[in-house]
Structure 1
Amino acid sequence: MHELLVTGLASSGEGVARLLDGRVVFIRGALPGDTVTLKVTQDKARVVFADIAKLVTASSKRTLPYDPRIALSSVPWLGLDYQTQLDAKADNVLQALTRIAKLAPSFRGIKAAPNELHYRHRARLHARKGKLGYFARGTHDLIDRSSAPVCWPELDAALTNLEAWIAGRGVRQVEVVYSRRDGKSAARIEAESG
């Protein structure tokens, strides 16, 4: 397969490029500005889905090195610089409103969060052998939660306490939410049946 330049981002987080025959390619783990070779996972008449076979040239917009093991489905744009994330989100909203809904919206842009990391007050994680983590995208490979620093520090502390508690209890998945208003967290725990 030829080298492709990734030119955009899909709302689902995949990088977008075009083949010489005009078909769109959605590339898991790719970011705008990356030059990649592909490992095709689905080849359809009008669209191709692929993983990165080789990252030939990394985008200048990457803030983390490409690591296919931590391509997380819950945070697909984690390695992308924050302003580019905001621009892509704004573009996705505008595309949905104009192309799909046929509206002509007045748009003022997206307000940046005060902190580009540690913004989540809720997390759903999977458990294996007493450890909590995220699934790598498209797999059930457990990735250490520290590789995606998106939770509020208070939520991280609650997860650390919960991780100590779940060891040996057959827990499969947890969902934890933290409230800064009352300083409390709540958890929903799913255990293995049988």
Structure 2
Amino acid sequence: MQLTITSMTYGSDGIARDASGKAVFVSGGLVGDTVSARIVEEGQRFSRAVVEEVLEPSPDRVQAPCPFVDICGGCPWGSLSLDAQRAAKIENLRSCLERIGGFSSDETQALIKPLRHAKDAWGYRNKIELTPHKQAGKLRLGMHGRNPQDIVVVPACPLFEKRFAGAVRSVAGAIGFLSGSGDLMLERVGIRASRNTGALEVALWTPTGGFPRAQVSRVLTEAIRPKSIVRVMSKEGRRARRVSGVEVLAGEGSWHETLAKESMRISAPSFFQVNTRAAEILIDLVMDALTPKPHEVAMDLYCGAGTFTIPLARRSAYVAAVEAYGPAVRDLRRNLEIAGLDNVDVIGGDAVREFPDEGADVLVVDPPRAGLEKAAIDLIAKSGARDIAYVSCDPATLARDLARFVQEGTYHPISATPADLFPQTYHMETVCHLTR
């Protein structure tokens, strides 16, 4: 059927309406396109289709610098203009707040502030992950495709830090050479690079067991000369993040980055925002919302390696920081030592089970994509904090949690500022300011 794409989902699909008015999720279509599409799934409330031909391209279609943009999953919006991408992200946030959060259109208009973004739309990522697979009997490294089951072999990724554009090819070549001597049992390969410090790290994820450490170290060092090469041993296979140990194969054993003028060391298993420049925007938004005072107590839940903990500690009398992931807890302790800060109580454990007993004047929460447990919202409501900064990476769970805060009655949201940390994708961050 012929369809005109009217909006983008929080995903890679466009949305159109068929002749009956039913929603059709169209794979391969961009907002403004008129396409010939083939229905692949017919449902009662919506259908799914794939583009057979673009009959009239959207005026917002652009030529992406990546030749794999239509098949690689790394930049699903790479052929859409930046203005259209950012408009779609604001619309997705608005839609979630209204559909899921129950806010009125007037309320969302007052809540949503102008989108913030950094300068670079390409070449901004400080991290890339490659997946090993066999091709023509040889081990190759590639990226997951639009279809996650597909692996796309790329010589370079235009999203990755420009200074290290050749790193993907060099690492892939070295791994291909090493695999000729035996199975490395690789689950994935991570590459981190810093524009600020020049640090480059290669992390090889494998199961526990024997490993040709010396040979791998020598070949990768000759191929790319990274500052650090590590092996991350995981317990439960390819998708697991449970780490049984990290072996330093060469160099420093961690990745060095500066964030908002703070020097940070990040171990390979720990989460760190992939867009350093835009992560500094998040810090500014959080600090602007909380305006912590030198005599006040702060609380940082799901604090990771210290993105918000350190700036809070610079501005507050005391910070209680809670993080469940062991490698991140160790990184946080080390980063506080680097910063020379001793006014932070680092609490390892689940944010609900280990919720600090002391009250707080200001509180920041940066949960995973699943958002907050209801129990966490109840505990936050009892914290006594005057202001909360909720940093969200998913507008749907943010909208759900804001509705829960409103229902609980202690806090209400007064602003939600979207931040475009992930140009060329549908992903976004939002910093929401709630007050008593």
TM range (shorter): 0.7 to 0.9
Distance in 1, matches of 2:36 and 2:155, equals 29
Hey, what does 1:188 align to over in structure 2? 203
The answer for the alignment partner of 1:91 in structure 2 is 91
Q: CA deviation at 1:178?
A: 2.1
Equivalent residue, structure 2, for 1:118: 123
Contact 1:130–1:164 (Cα < 8 Å) also in 2: no
Distance apart, 1:131 and its partner CA: 4.4
How far the C-alpha of 1:30 sits from its partner, in A, is: 0.6
Query: 2:126 and 2:68 mapped to 1: Cα distance?
Result: 26
Structure 2 vs 1, CA of residues 89 and 16 (structure 1 numbering), >3 Å: closer, same or farther?
A: same
CA distance in structure 1 between the partners assigned to 2:201 and 2:146 by the alignment: 26
In 2: Cα distance, 1:6 partner to 1:147 partner:
31
Taking only aligned residues, the RMSD between alpha carbons, in angstroms, comes to 2.8
Asked if 1 retains the 8 angstrom alpha-carbon contact of 2:161 and 2:194, the reply is no
Residue number in structure 2 paired with 1:160: 169
Alpha-carbon displacement from aligned partner over 1:119-172 (angstroms, at most 9, x marks no partner) = 211112223445433232115443343575111113433323312211142545
Distance 1:147 1:165, change over 3 A: closer
Q: Which amino acid aligns with 2:46?
A: V
Select between 23-32 and 171-180 the one with higher mean Cα deviation.
Answer: 171-180
Q: Which structure has the larger Rg over C-alpha atoms?
A: 2
- How does 1:1-194 map onto structure 2 within 5 Å? 2-64=1-63, 70-103=70-103, 104-105=107-108, 106-128=111-133, 129=138, 131-138=140-147, 140-145=149-154, 148-168=157-177, 169=179, 170=183, 171=186, 173-190=188-205
Cα deviation digits, residues 66-87 of structure 1 (max 9, x gap)? x898333232101100110011
- CA distance in 2 between partners of 1:113 and 1:9 (Å): 22
Q: How many residues align?
A: 192
Query: How far did residue 186 of structure 1 move?
Result: 2.8
**Is the contact made by 2:156 and 2:168 (CA closer than 8 Å) also made in structure 1?**
no
Identity within the alignment, % = 23
Q: Distance in 1 between matches of 2:46 and 2:140?
A: 38
Distance 2:38 2:148 in 1: 16
What amino acid maps onto 1:109 in structure 2?
P
Cα distance in 2, alignment partners of residues 26 and 145 from structure 1: 28
Specify the SS of the correspondent of 2:84.
helix
Moved more, 27-36 or 38-47: 38-47
Instruction: Compute the displacement of 1:12 (Å).
Output: 0.7
TM-superposed CA distance for 1:63, in Å, is: 0.7
Structure with the larger helix share: 2
Deviation (angstroms), 1:14: 0.6
Structure 1: gaps spanning 5 or more residues: none
Change (3 A) 1:87 1:99: same
Read off the aligned partner of 1:184 and give its amino acid letter. A
- Partner Cα distance (1:45, 1:147) in 2: 42
2:406 maps to: none
Query: In the alignment, is the contact (CA less than 8 A) between 1:28 and 1:52 conserved in 2?
Result: yes
The structural deviation recorded for 1:182 is: 3.4
Query: Which consecutive unaligned segments of at least 5 residues does structure 2 have?
Result: 209-436
CA–CA distance in structure 2, aligned partners of residues 144 and 58 of structure 1: 28
